[in-house]
Amino acid sequence: MYYKKIYIRDFGIFNNQNLEGISKNLVVIGGKNRAGKSTFLKLLRYLPFGLPKDNSIPPAVDNYYIEAELKKADKKFSLFIDGYAAPKVIDDDQQEKSASELFNNLDQLSYQHLFSISLNELQDLAKIAKGKKKEKRLYSILLGAGFSELVKVPEIADKYFNYAKSIGGKLGDPTVASFKPYYNQIREAEEKRDQALLEVDEFRQKNKDLSQFQNKLNSKRREIEKLENHYILIDLLKNNYSELKEIVNLSQKLNKVINKNSLQTSSQLNNSEINAENTGLQTNLDQFLIFMEHESKKIRKFQQKEESLKERIKNYLLQEDKIEKSKQQLLSELENLDTSWNNGLQQLENIKVDLIKEKDINQKLKKYRDLNYDIEKIESELKNLSYKLEENRQELEEIDFKKPSLILKQSYFVLALSFLTLGSSFWINIEQLKYFSLVLALTAFIYYSSNYRSSKLEKQRLSKLEKEEQLNKNQLQNKELELKKKTSYLEQVRADLNKYAKILGISEADYLSFIDSYLREVRDKKRRYRELKIKKEENQTEKQKLKMNLTGIKNLIKESSSYCSLDFNTFAGIDLIENYQILFSEFDKIKELKDLTEEYRKIKSQLKHTLNASDTVKTALFELKQDRDYYQTFIGFYHKFTSQSAVEKKKESLSVQINNLKQEKESLEEKITTVKNRINALSTSTKLESAQQKIDLAQTGLEKQAQSYAVNKSVSFILKKLRSRMIEKAETELLKPASDILSRITSHHYCDLKTAAELDQQDFRVVTENGRQFNSTKELSRGSLEQLFLAVRLSRIKEIKPPLPLVLDDSLVNFDQNHLYNTAKLLVELASRHQIFILTCHPQLISFISQLSNAAQYWKLDSGQFETASPKKLAAYLKE
């Protein structure tokens, strides 16, 4: 099931937001702090169950309203939430459905703690849960339904055991606990009864007569029993004659197989030689059967693993070829990368790319380009300043003017002369002097007007040019100093880049144009080479495991050949993996021998079971031959008869003898009955009846107590066995997938996950790759703790079908780069069957996901506003 569309009209920071065309696989929503990621998590968390009326969700502006379109099993569903009302679900046929049914009928606590994971959910259970009851409930959710009830089993088992102990002690002894009063009553009553029977002399005599008759009767019975036992053996032999015949035939076949040396025909041997050979064959047969019985489990185990071993061998050879091709491809790419490398893989291994951060080298390259640009700009500005100084110098040289003060003095002098001439004209009556003074004044005015203003402007221009020259000189000095600093910094950056190029083994002079892409290629190839080595090591480990299994088969074949005359082709130097087909064809011969042996053993076992099932048969066989090997005794008994008709004749003869003896026995039993009646008449009836009544009552009470003891002891035993098996099931079936996930996240550092030693602790134990065991999650680091609980949740999520959408809100912030990459890879794989929403503010996670998957969908979330984005732009936005 997955969301196709979500419309949020009013929920916290979201207002009229519409998410259409949502991917059914991986949906990455990137946003900065307070962008609305946690609000979106709460929206998806409560969507299936309705909104709570508390402070756990952000307030609405007006009234909560959410619509969602979902798809499940090729059917579309529309889900509506209006205010605090329960969610309403309508299918394609406009039929109203249950939201609980749509979400697999999961309870709210299970859904929210498994399918909506924030950083808080990956903490210790005691920190998440409010109280022990909630903590046990969460532990049950993580391990599977009903598992937490197993914690109560030891307490219940002890209760039943203690109750049984209070009745009959630990061993059920009738002389202790609740059994003791009844036992004592029976014992006292028996003593009283025996005492009453000894009161009369006649009773004693009759008792003596009774004893004699009983002895005779016992003798007859033993004689009858002996004949009946013999009769039973005859009857058993008759009924199993065909099976015995088949056993003998199978034994002869097996003797032929295990006979290593061809025997001479029986006509060439005398009786003693035949007997010796038969003894030798029987010895070889016994040894062969012992071997087959001893190795039957191993043969059956190899037989069951045969097809899987063949498949594993094919996979190993295929993987070996694939690794070699990948290696050759990598070598070819390394040769194209740098033709000067002679031993590409070794030189690639020697490059320490960990010493170089791609971010640093990109910053250095950017700085280098910026410095070059700045230097060129400064040099251009220096040229312009030099040109301006030269122009200023030329203009200063061209300026030639009279000083305004000199012009003013000259004008004042002429004007003074004019006033003097005018004054003289009053003393000397010469009319021309007045005109001459007027001409002088006019001349002074014209001279002043035409020269003073231009001279003043020229002076201002000179001053301005001098200031500009000084300013340009200062600027020139500053730019030269700046150029010197930039040049020095450029050389420093070039030295750093030269160091990076040396680390990467770049010999080209123009490396600056490609050093960044070269680093990425080297990193990628080192990663591929590292993965190739890991695959090679894993394949070698698989090879060793296969060799161990195949060596076991080979050794079994060689060992079998020492017991039988079959021709096996296995030899010491065989390549077990490449010649596995030859090995398995030889193993087929062993299976044929095993089948023959099992048929022989089966019929023999059935006969042995028949012989051992009845104590009467065992007694009869023991009387026949004082030997506890009942089977061999019966085989010997079989050889005494030449045919089945001989057996039937013997059976009829014994039947006649037994009938005669039974008639004699009946006569004795009648005499014994008469004597017993007389003894009863002579006994003290009141005492005997009272004693017998006490015995009967005590026996009834004891029987009830014994039944109660047996029931409670049995229940205690069954509960302990149940707990043991359930713990084993939890660790193999429930925690094994979680262990595998945790191992992948931690790069196989943690290899095994178990429940706590005592289940009522609600805790986990983890084992590292080197065998170190952490007995509690409190011993783990915060990152390891979060990785453990994420692994357990992902394991449980995989078990729940059909798959439901999963939401993670910045749950991986405490993971380092390697563990973050491993987790991203797991989430990408899980997204093939689950819709996963990843809410994050970390660009590195987005970068890993974009490397691992081309099918992921990316959304930018900013202040409650959604918009689709490319992974590159989204990562850049989050870096800002």
Computed over its alpha carbons, how large is the radius of gyration of the chain? 54
Looking at residue 178, its pLDDT comes to 74
Distance CA(661)–CA(653), nearest Å, equals 13
Could you read off the pLDDT of 809-819 as tens digits, one per residue?
888 888 899 99
More confident residue, 826 or 538: 826
Q: Which H helix or E strand runs over 117?
A: strand 116-118
Residue 809 belongs to some domain of the structure: yes
Find the CATH number of the domain harbouring 44: 3.40.50.300
pLDDT at 269 > cutoff 50: no
Residue 33 lies in a domain: yes
Residue 6 confidence (pLDDT): 96
pLDDT of residue 148: 46
464 part of a folded domain: yes
- pLDDT for res 354: 58
- pLDDT tens for 157-175 read 677 777 777 777 767 677 7
Confidence of residue 657 (pLDDT cuts 50, 70, 90): confident
Secondary-structure breakdown of the chain: helix, strand, coil percentages, each rounded to the nearest 5 = 70, 10, 20
Kindly tell me if the per-residue pLDDT of 727 is higher than 70: no
Task: Report the pLDDT averaged over residues 647-668.
Answer: 81
pLDDT value at 524 more than 60: yes
Q: In this predicted model, what pLDDT tens digit does every residue of 766-800 receive, in sequence order?
A: 889 888 888 877 888 888 888 888 888 888 888 88
Distance of alpha carbon 608 from alpha carbon 787, whole angstroms:
58
Can you give the pLDDT at residue 852?
A: 94
Percent of the chain at pLDDT above 90?
Answer: 18
Q: pLDDT at residue 663 above 60?
A: yes
pLDDT by residue (tens digit) across 304-325? 676 777 788 788 888 888 888 8
User: Angle at Cα 853 formed by Cα 852 and Cα 856, nearest 5°?
Assistant: 135
- Residue 420 backbone zone (phi > 0: left; psi -120 to 50: alpha; other: beta): alpha
Alpha-carbon distance 337 to 524, whole Å?
A: 12
Domain closes at, from 504, 530, 547: 504
In angstroms, the CA 121 to CA 697 distance is 65
The per-residue pLDDT for range 176-209, each reduced to its tens digit, is 777 678 777 777 777 766 666 555 456 777 778 7
Confidence of residue 352 (pLDDT cuts 50, 70, 90): low
- 253 has pLDDT over 80: no
Which of 504, 537, 560 terminates a domain? The answer is: 504
Can you tell me the distance from the alpha carbon of 543 to that of 322, in angstroms, rounded to the nearest whole number?
15
At residue 130 the predicted structure's pLDDT band, cuts being 50, 70 and 90, is very low
Burial of 189 (0-12, 13-18, 19+ CB in 10 A): buried
**Which pLDDT band holds residue 274 (cuts at 50, 70, 90)?**
very low
Q: Give the pLDDT of residue 264.
A: 36
Residue 479's Cβ-side half-sphere holds a number of Cα atoms within 13 Å equal to 19
Residue 271 forms part of a structural domain: no
- CB–CB of 198/207 below 8 Å? no
Residue whose structure tokens are 């200063």: 396
Average pLDDT, the chain: 75
Residue 648 lies in a domain: no
Nearest to 562 by CA among 537, 590, 583, 536: 590
Question: Are the C-beta atoms of residues 649 and 640 closer than 8 Å to each other?
Answer: no
449 has a pLDDT exceeding 70: no
Peptide linkage before 48 cis (omega within 30 of 0):
no
- Contact call for residues 10 and 59 (beta carbons, < 8 A): no
- Give me the domain span that covers residue 771: 23-48+106-147+728-879
Query: Does residue 195 belong to any structural domain of this protein?
Result: no
Neighbouring residues of 286: CB distance < 8 A, sequence distance ≥ 6: none
- DSSP E strand stretches across 655-804: 750-755, 764-768, 773-774
Helix/strand/coil for 343: coil
- The pLDDT assigned to 774 comes to 86
User: Strand pairing of 806-809 and 14-20?
Assistant: unpaired
Q: What integer pLDDT is reported at residue 231 of this predicted model?
A: 76
Q: What is the pLDDT of residues 744-765, one digit of tens each?
A: 999 999 888 887 655 555 667 8
Domain boundary among 483, 504, 525: 504
pLDDT at 826: 94
3-state secondary structure 364-389: HHHHHHHHHHHHHHHHHHHHHHHHHH
Q: What is the mean pLDDT of residues 487-502?
A: 70
Give how many domains the chain has, as a whole number.
Answer: 2
Query: Which residue reads 């190899």 in tokens?
Result: 302
Q: What is the CATH number of the domain that holds 492?
A: 1.10.287
Mean pLDDT within 515-519: 62
| Position 453 confidence tier, pLDDT thresholds 50, 70, 90 | low
Judge whether 401 lies within some domain. yes
Phi then psi for residue 130, to 5 deg, are -100, 90
Residue 288 or 595, more confident: 595
pLDDT tens for each residue of 626-640: 666 777 777 777 777
Judge whether 219 lies within some domain: no
pLDDT at residue 584, rounded to an integer:
53
CA dist 227 and 620 (Å) reads 9
pLDDT in tens, 6-63: 999 999 999 999 999 999 999 999 999 899 999 999 999 999 999 998 888 999 999 9
150 pLDDT more than 60: no
Token duo for residue 290: 């012992």
Q: What is the band of 617 on the pLDDT scale with cuts at 50, 70, 90?
A: confident
The torsion angles phi and psi of 576, rounded to 5 degrees, stand at -60, -40
- Top pLDDT among 861 and 708 is at 861
**870 SS3 class:** coil
pLDDT for res 81 = 95
